[in-house]
Amino acid sequence: EAQVTQNPRYLITVTGKKLTVTCSQNMNHEYMSWYRQDPGLGLRQIYYSMNVEVTDKGDVPEGYKVSRKEKRNFPLILESPSPNQTSLYFCASSRGGPYYEQFFGPGTRLTVL
């Protein structure tokens, strides 16, 4: 089954404790992206990657890191989480062109205390 998987689905952590949210897709997609969703703000892009070893900042990259060492994986790293990073996070992937739709993971609900 074609899908985007994220882990964990739910995470409660404390300020400053490094964490990683994994994202993997099995569709051989070139493009991958991380978003955060907050009430009233819609989706805001954090980082995106157009191919292996190619990443770029989205609209809200501060406090986040990503890497793209393999085509299928695109982990999101929070080196020192803060309460304002409490949010719902989505990973997405698509083929490598601007007119292709994105496939989304199920989401990771993160709470930083």
The site for another protein (CB under 8 A) is made up of 4, 31, 40-45, 48, 50, 56, 58, 90, 92, 96-99, 101-107
As a whole number of angstroms, the distance between CA 63 and CA 4 comes to: 24
By C-beta, is 62 or 101 nearer to another protein? Answer: 101
Closest CB to another protein among residues 45, 67: 45
Confirm if 31 and 50 have CB atoms less than 8 A apart: yes
Amino acid in the structure at residue 81: P
Is the separation of the CB atoms in 45 and 34 below 8 Å?
A: yes
CB of 80 to another protein, least distance (A): 26
Taking the least distance from each CB to another protein, the nearer of 85 and 89 is 89
